[in-house]
Structure 1
């Protein structure tokens, strides 16, 4: 069976689609068969990223490794069994059709609570939650006291992940490996940044996730989207010499892949 990587949280602007595309492309470049799904049926940022990539490569006459993206299939409501949810069925059909030809399936979730996102979390073998380095985003995981030190209790997203874990356990599936990725980090060692680090470490022990290194805030990620490219594609499209920021970003991606500890993956980018 394909190993399912779900990239999700319930807040927009955390870089989920950028993380999804870079993970999927990196795995493809290492020789793995990768499928990709976008469950944000309104914005479809990952879908547009994939479409931009296909168009750019065709225009330039290039062939580069990448994920095999597909939209969720339409389903005739009349074909559903009594009580069956149409969104459940659409996701199930997409995953079932992808699995025979995929080692990994990367699923990008919307920045809100939806039925599709809820079901995807229950399918996750690895759950990656990008989190901006801010207590505004930390509130997604847990409620915290005014001093930014004392954790009062889990928030709605953490409870949803807990429910997904329970569903997997009831189905006899292996436990989900929940990874929180500190994303869009600033360069300065500010007091707020240190408080965030301490709060995340305490919360990780309390509700059971791993903290892995993410990406610093870099302009290059925004520049790559219109062409559907990732950091790993730059040399293949004529960038002969990477600047220091790009080199550092590639290293961050390598460190992320190593930290995820995905089955059968040896990071050799």
Structure 2
């Protein structure tokens, strides 16, 4: 029978390769009970070698913290611009789209073609400021409570306005993507607004750099089953790509 030390090494090797391990999968691979695996994960967490999550464990700290938007802009800025440029290619003339909030969707706004007939609904003040220079883009700025850390609006008034519209595409930024918990943000009010955006959109496209995978924010937006496409960078693990594609999500990876 495999020893505890060997089990621990197997778990850590798997985490290094895939960034996430599942309790049930480990039970089958190591031929031990779930009680044994959970004890192993607890011991490894006590040594600061992993973080336990619901149903498994991850090598990365899964909990996100809120940061000012000007600080977020500096993180993975090159990857975000490439993601934004790829997302911009999905927009067609005469589209009616929603652009949520966050620095990755701001990169989309910065990459949008200057001469397109579009209607854009956005919660982001920065997105609106970026697009105002395009004469053929009609901008509808949602109103509500200003969330200063993200330079965007939230609240029931913004949610109510959205019920009058239906758009072809939603470009959504997130603070975390977890295979079990789904999409999250650090603000509950922003999560509620994003959920309403999903309700009134035909296609949901998530723009996220690879550091967001395996993370969880305080406010849950939705499960993975409610999104259609994810655009990310090459830092994403093969495990996450396979898991999302197996659920029917199109994964686009920028180099």
Instruction: Tell me, yes or no, whether TM beats 0.5.
Output: no
TM-score of the pair, normalised by structure 1: 0.38
Q: Whose relative contact order is higher, 1 or 2, with alpha carbons under 8 Å and at least 6 apart?
A: 1
Larger strand fraction of residues: 2
Structure of greater Rg: 2
TM-score of the pair, normalised by structure 2: 0.40
